[in-house]
Amino acid sequence: MKYSQIVGKTKKNVPSEAVSVNHKLLLQAGFIDQLSAGIFSFLPLGLKVLRNIEQIIREELNLIGANEVLMPALIQKSNWDKTDRWNTVDILVKTKSQTDKEYGLGFSHEEVVTPLAGQFIHSYKDLPMAIYQIQTKFRDELRAKSGLLRGREFGMKDLYSFHSTQEDFQNYYSLVKNTYLKIFARMGLKDVKITEASGGSFTKKFSHEFDVLTPAGEIDLIYCDQCEFAQNTEIAQVKSGSLCPKCKKGKITTGKAIEVGNIFDLGQRFARDFQLEFIDKDGKKQLPFMGCYGIGTTRLVGAIVEKCNDVKGIIWPASVAPFKYHLISLPGGETNAHKIYEEMMDKGIEILWDDRDISAGAKFADADLIGIPVRLVVSQKTGDKVEMKLRKNTTNKLVSLSDLQNSTV
Ligand code: ATP
Ligand code: MG
Q: In testing the pocket of ligand 1, which one of 42, 184, 299, 304 has its CB within 8 Å of the most ligand atoms? A: 299
Helices and strands, counts by H and E, the chain: 10, 23
User: 10 Å Cβ neighbour count for 184?
Assistant: 24
CA of 385 to the centre of ligand 2 (A): 51
Q: For helices 44-63 and 166-186, what crossing angle results, to 10°?
A: 140
Which ligand does the CA of 262 lie closest to? 1
Name the strand (E) or helix (H) holding 365.
Answer: helix 360-370
CA of 207 to the centre of ligand 1 (A): 13
Contact present, 382 and 355 (Cβ < 8 Å): no
End-to-end CA distance of the chain: 18
Which ligand does the CA of 298 lie closest to? 1
CA distance 248 to 258: 25
Ligand 1: does its nearest atom lie under 6 Å from the Cβ of 208?
no
Encode burial over 32-59: b for 16+ CB neighbours within 10 A, e otherwise: bebeeebebebbebbbbbbbbbbebbbe
> In this predicted structure, what is the pLDDT of residue 409?
55
User: 10 Å Cβ neighbour count for 84?
Assistant: 10
Atom of ligand 1 nearest to the CA of 258: 3
Atom of ligand 1 nearest to the CA of 202: 10
Contact present, 303 and 149 (Cβ < 8 Å): yes
CA distance 381 to 377: 10
Half-sphere exposure of 351 (CA within 13 A, CB side): 24
CA of 39 to the centre of ligand 2 (A): 20
> In this predicted structure, what is the pLDDT of residue 203?
46
Nearest residue to 139 (alpha-carbon basis) of 101, 89, 86, 82: 89
Contact present, 75 and 64 (Cβ < 8 Å): no
CA of 156 to the centre of ligand 1 (A): 8
Name the strand (E) or helix (H) holding 269.
Answer: helix 269-273
Q: Average pLDDT by consecutive 10-residue portion of the chain (409 residues)?
A: 97 92 98 97 98 98 98 98 98 98 98 98 98 98 94 98 97 97 96 78 72 94 91 88 94 96 96 98 98 98 98 98 98 95 94 97 98 97 95 94 73
Contact present, 52 and 239 (Cβ < 8 Å): no
User: 10 Å Cβ neighbour count for 374?
Assistant: 20
Q: In testing the pocket of ligand 1, which one of 134, 259, 292 has its CB within 8 Å of the most ligand atoms? A: 259
Strands 129-138 vs 206-213: parallel, antiparallel or unpaired: unpaired
Q: Which residue, by CA, sits nearest to atom 19 of ligand 1?
A: 296
Ligand 1: does its nearest atom lie under 6 Å from the Cβ of 259?
yes
Ligand 1: does its nearest atom lie under 6 Å from the Cβ of 296?
yes
- In order of 123, 190, 320, the CA distances from 46 in angstroms are 44, 22, 10
CA of 119 to the centre of ligand 1 (A): 28
Residue 72 makes CB contacts below 8 A (sequence gap 6+) with 106, 112
Question: CB-based burial of residue 406 (10 Å sphere; 0-12 exposed, 13-18 middle, 19+ buried)?
Answer: exposed
CA distance 103 to 80: 9
Question: CB-based burial of residue 83 (10 Å sphere; 0-12 exposed, 13-18 middle, 19+ buried)?
Answer: middle
Q: In one letter, which amino acid is 64?
A: I
Q: What share of the chain is helix, strand, coil (3-state, %, to 5)?
A: 30, 30, 40
Q: What is the dihedral of CA 239, 244, 246, 247, to 10 degrees?
A: 170
